[in-house]
Every structure is written in C-alpha cells, then in structure tokens.
Amino acid sequence: MLYLLLCLVLIPVIILAGYAQTKVHTVYKTFSQVNTTKNRTALEVARTILDTAGLKNVTIKKVPGTLTDYYDSKHKVLALSESNYESTSIAAIGVAAHEAGHALQDHQNYIPLRLRHLVIHVSNIVSKSFFPLLILSILLAIFIPTSGNVGVYLVMIFTAIYALSMLISLITLPVEFNASQRALRYLKDSQELTPQELNGAKKVLSAAALTYIASFLYNAVEFLRILIYLLMITRNDN
C-alpha cells in the first residue's frame, strides 16, 4: 500500500520538476533581454568578485551552450556559458555572481561543499561498481544457488545508488542557496545592480533553486520507493 502511495506521489513530483525546468528557462530568457544600468559584462563582474576575494588564481573561461555555467573546484575554473560570458543582462550577471559564490565557498572551505564533493566521489565509486557487482551476483546465483536471489542483489545496489543520489541532492540545497545569497549580497553591497535589477537577479536565482528542490524530492521519493520494494522482496524470500 505504501509502495503504491509513493508511486502516486511521484507523479506530482515529476510535474514539479518539469515546471521548475520550464520556469528557470522562462525567467532566464526574460531577464537575459534586460541589460543592467552599469552595462558591465558577466565576465567583468565575476572577475571583480574573484579579485576582491583574492582569488586571482581562479580562471574564467567560456563554454558552449546556455545555462551551462559551473565552477570547477579541482582546476579552479569558473566557466560561463557563451550566452552569459559577454552579456550585460541581469540574468547573466546573476548567474556569474552565483558561480563566483561557489568559488568563494571553495576558498573558505565551506563544509557543505566539501561534504558534497566527498559524497559525489563515493557515489561515482558505487556507480562504477554496479556492473561488476551485478555480474558477481549472477555468477553466485549460477554456481552457488543458495547464495540468494539476483534480483535482491540488484535492488540493493539500486537502493544504495539512490540513497547517495538523495544525499547529494540534499547537500546541494544549502550549497546552492548559500552561493545565491553570497551573489545577491555582493550585487547589493557593491551597488553593481539597482534595487529593481537586483530583484530580477533574485528571480532568476530563485527559479534555479526550485530545480534543485524538485531534484531532491524526486530522489527522495525514488529512494523510499526502491527501499520499500527491497524490504518487500526480501520479506517474501524469507
């Protein structure tokens, strides 16, 4: 009964995820067409934030696409999408400041960011181990029939993967929220944006935040659904 309920709950969560993606693109498109009063590019703003914080070692590069911006803590690179790199729009400035916020987190050893990197590393190891473990489970079932059901092993692996995915998306929330707070604080204190422009940047970053919330809810429901299914099949085996 609980399993079926979670399947039903998954429907509005998927709808929310679709809505969040649509909203972030709509809001971004709206404010990418509105230039800021100071008319400075996203590249210039990001460089100023980094230099002010003493992060001259962080390089900024242009990457293809739209909303493909990211910060690479390993190589100390802040990547701005080609649609934002030389743009003077409110959306571009907000996104660039947000990514610079991640660089500041990295510089200050922000604990949730470090924890997220650790969990992602563990998740990658588990994901890469999926097929070897699956093959091992099949071999055990063939040569040692009493070793258990392959399906149970498979679901256990999926449960572990989704548990890590849920944990990553959970930790991502404070990391992304904090980066946006840092961005908006800087844009306000430095008067880089006017109050009206700042409100636009806040709308862009808030729309992006909704996608992270939707991702966490999806991963959480999927994890619970698979966990309950695992408990059901193990109980039936016993």
- pLDDT, tens digit, 9 for 90 and up, residues 194-209: 999 999 999 999 999 9
Q: How far apart are CA 66 and CA 49, in angstroms?
A: 22
| pLDDT score for 142 | 61
Q: Which DSSP state fits 59? A: E
- Catalytic option among 44, 82, 86, 99: 99
Residue 9 has pLDDT above 70, yes or no: yes
The model scores a pTM over 0.75: yes
Query: Tens digits of per-residue pLDDT, 104-138?
Result: 999 999 999 999 999 888 877 766 766 676 676 66
Question: Nearest to residue 80, comparing CAs of 98, 93, 68?
Answer: 68
Half-sphere exposure of 220 (CA within 13 A, CB side): 11
Flag the least confident range among 157-166, 218-227, 229-238: 229-238
User: How is residue 207 written in tokens?
Assistant: 């729309």
Query: Tens digits of per-residue pLDDT, 140-186?
Result: 656 655 555 666 666 777 778 788 888 999 999 999 999 999 999 99
* Percent of the chain predicted with pLDDT > 70: 87
Residue 29 has pLDDT above 90, yes or no: yes
Q: pLDDT-based confidence at 232, cuts 50/70/90?
A: confident
The stretch 234-238 carries a mean pLDDT of 62
Residue 223 has pLDDT above 70, yes or no: yes
Q: Catalogue the long-range contacts made by 5-10 (C-beta closer than 8 Å, 24 or more residues apart).
A: 6/221, 6/224, 6/225, 6/228, 7/225, 9/221, 10/218, 10/221, 10/222, 10/225
Q: pLDDT-based confidence at 236, cuts 50/70/90?
A: low
Please say whether the beta carbons of 121 and 168 come within 8 A. Answer: no
Q: How far apart are CA 211 and CA 22, in angstroms?
A: 10
Please say if 99 is a catalytic residue.
yes
Q: Catalogue the long-range contacts made by 15-19 (C-beta closer than 8 Å, 24 or more residues apart).
A: 16/214, 16/217, 17/211, 17/214, 17/215, 17/217, 17/218, 19/214
Query: Tens digits of per-residue pLDDT, 37-47?
Result: 999 999 999 99
Secondary element (H or E) of residue 79: strand 77-81
| pLDDT score for 192 | 96
The angle at the Cα of 174, spanning 168 to 179, to the nearest 5 degrees, equals: 115
Residue 193 has pLDDT above 60, yes or no: yes
| pLDDT score for 27 | 98
Please, where are the H alpha helices in the chain? 2-31, 42-52, 90-107, 111-128, 130-143, 150-189, 195-237
181 Cβ contact partners less than 8 Å away, ≥ 6 residues apart: 101
The stretch 18-45 carries a mean pLDDT of 97
Residue 4 has pLDDT above 60, yes or no: yes
Q: How distant, in Å, are the alpha carbons of 127, 176, 193, 201 from that of 100?
A: 30, 12, 16, 14
151 Cβ contact partners less than 8 Å away, ≥ 6 residues apart: 233
Average pLDDT, the chain: 88
All structural domains of the chain with their residue ranges = 2-237
Please say whether the beta carbons of 39 and 47 come within 8 A. Answer: no
| pLDDT score for 7 | 79
